[in-house]
Amino acid sequence: MSSLANKQILLGVTGGIAAYKSADLVRRLQDAGAVVQVVMTPAAQEFITPLTMQALSGNPVHTHLLDPEAEAGMGHIQLARWADLVLIAPATADFMARLTQGMGNDLLTSICLATAAPIAIAPAMNQGMWRNEATQTNLDTLIKRKIHIFGPAEGGQACGDIGLGRMLEPLQLVDAAASLFTIGSLAGKKVVITAGPTREALDPVRYLSNYSSGKMGYALAQAAAEAGAETILISGPTQLAIPARVTRIDVTSAGEMHATSLHEAKDCDLFIAAAAVADYRPLQIAPQKIKKGVNDTLTLTLVKNPDIVADIAALDPKPYTVGFAAESENLVEYARAKLQRKNLDLVVANNISDSSIGFNSDDNAVTLIDNNSVTDISQRSKHQLARELIILFAQKITAR
C-alpha cells in the first residue's frame, strides 16, 4: 500500500533547466493527495518564477533564508518540522555538492540540515557532469547518509547531449515519493484509537471539557490506516476530517467512550488511548439550565469517570495497550506511575507546559516510557510523529 494522501511535501527547486517540470510536479503531487510547499533557490528563480509555483501550490513560495518576517518565527525550522518528505527536484550537481558538505548557506540546505523527515533528490544535469568523479563521490556519500535518489533517467538533454542526467518525469517522481510511505507493518491487524476531548454535561447548555484538539489521535489513525490496519477511531467532539480508510465512531461523554472502547477492543491487536478523557463528571445533570443565583459561588459535586485504558489493559486476551500522559511537571515520574498502575505496555508522555507542542498545536515532542526504557522523541509534526510511533508499535506487537 502506498499513498500521498494528506502527506506534507516540501518541494525544493534548484537552478536547472528541468525546473520547468517542477511546476507540473506540484500539480501531480496534489493530485495524489499531498499538500505541497515550495522552496526555491536564487538560481531556480532564473528558470521559473515563484509566482507560478505559488499559483499552482496554493501556498506562499519560500525563497530566502534570512527573511525577516519568516525568521521571526524561525521559518526554516518550522518548514523542516512541517515536512513529511523533503523532495528536491531538480537537484543540480552544485546542490548535491553542497548537501554532501553539510552546508547551510541558503534556505533549502538549511532545511535539509534541520529536518527529521526523509530527504529525496531527483538529479538533473548534463551527462558529463553526472559522470564526473566528484559528482559520483558525492552521490555515494548521500546514499550512505540514507538520502533517497530518484533517477536520473537517460535520454536527450537540453544541451544536445544524450546520456544519463535527465530528471525523472513528474509522475515517476510521484510514484517514487509514494513508495517511501509504503509501510504495511500492520496489515491484517485491528487498531482502536481514542481521540479528542470528552464533554460532561452540567445542564442542557453547559459542560465540562478540556482543550484537546484531537490532532494527535487523528494523525495516529491516519498512520495506522496507511500501515494497513483495520482502524477504528473513537472520537470525542472535534472539527477534524475523517482520515481516509478509517472508521470513525463519534461519542460525547467519557461513559460513551468507555462503552464503545470496550466493545471495539475485544478483538483488537493494538489499543491507543490518545483521547483527553474527563476524569470526573457531575453527579447529577440538571434537567433545566442552571440559573445564576444570589450567591457568588456555585458548588458542583463530581464523581469519577470509568478508567478506559485501565479497563482495556485488564481484558483477557489483552491488546498491546498504549496510554498517553499529558503532564505539566515530573513527566517521567508520573508517566511511569501511570504505566505500572494501569498495567499498560507503553506510555507516550508530553509536557503540556510547553505551549509550542501538545494541545491544539500541529507539533509534538514526546517521551516514551515502558518497563525497560525511556526514549525522547524531539519536536516534529504530529503526522510525522504518528508514523514513527505506529512503526514502533507494530514492532512491539510483532515481538510479543
pLDDT in tens, 335-383: 999 999 999 999 999 888 777 776 667 888 999 999 999 999 988 888 8
Bridge partners for 209 per DSSP: none
16 vs 272, higher pLDDT: 272
Q: What are the pLDDT digits (tens) for 208-232?
A: 999 899 999 999 999 998 888 999 9
Nearest one of 381, 389, 321 to 85, comparing CA atoms: 381
With H, G, I as helix, E, B as strand and everything else as coil, classify residue 265: helix
Is-contact 379 78, C-beta < 8 A? no
The torsion angles phi and psi of 71, rounded to 5 degrees, stand at -75, -15
Residue 241's Cβ-side half-sphere holds a number of Cα atoms within 13 Å equal to 5
The class of domain 8-179 in CATH terms is alpha beta
- Counting residues of the chain whose pLDDT is more than 70, the rounded percentage is 95
113 vs 69, higher pLDDT: 113
- Angle in degrees, CA 329, 312, 370, rounded to 5: 45
The class of domain 190-399 in CATH terms is alpha beta
Nearest one of 180, 117, 110 to 149, comparing CA atoms: 180
The per-residue pLDDT of the chain, averaged, comes to 91
> Does the annotation mark 159 as catalytic?
yes
Q: What are the pLDDT digits (tens) for 195-211?
A: 999 999 999 999 999 98
Q: Using alpha carbons only, how large is the chain's radius of gyration in Å?
A: 25
**Parallel, antiparallel, or unpaired: how do β-strands 246-250 and 302-304 relate?**
unpaired
With H, G, I as helix, E, B as strand and everything else as coil, classify residue 297: coil
Q: What are the pLDDT digits (tens) for 261-281?
A: 999 999 999 999 999 999 999
Indicate whether 185 pLDDT > 90: no
- 170 preceded by cis ω (within 30°)? no
- Establish whether domains 8-179 and 190-399 are of one fold: yes
d(CA 214, CA 230) in angstroms, rounded, equals 20
Nearest one of 222, 265, 264, 259 to 240, comparing CA atoms: 222
Amino acid sitting at position 138: N
Residues 6+ apart with CB under 8 A from 353: 328, 329
Residue 10's Cβ-side half-sphere holds a number of Cα atoms within 13 Å equal to 26
Among the options 1, 55, 66, 159, which is catalytic? 159
Q: What length is written for the chain?
A: 400
> What is the b/e burial string over 224-254, where b = at least 16 CB atoms within 10 angstroms of the residue's CB?
bbbbbbbbbbbbbebebeebebbebbebbbb
Domain ranges of the chain: 8-179, 190-399
d(CA 2, CA 176) in angstroms, rounded, equals 10
Which range among 34-48, 54-68, 305-319 shows the weakest confidence by mean pLDDT?
Answer: 54-68
d(CA 170, CA 151) in angstroms, rounded, equals 12
The torsion angles phi and psi of 294, rounded to 5 degrees, stand at -80, -20
Strands (E), 159-316: 162-166, 190-195, 200-201, 207-208, 230-235, 246-250, 270-273, 280-282, 302-304
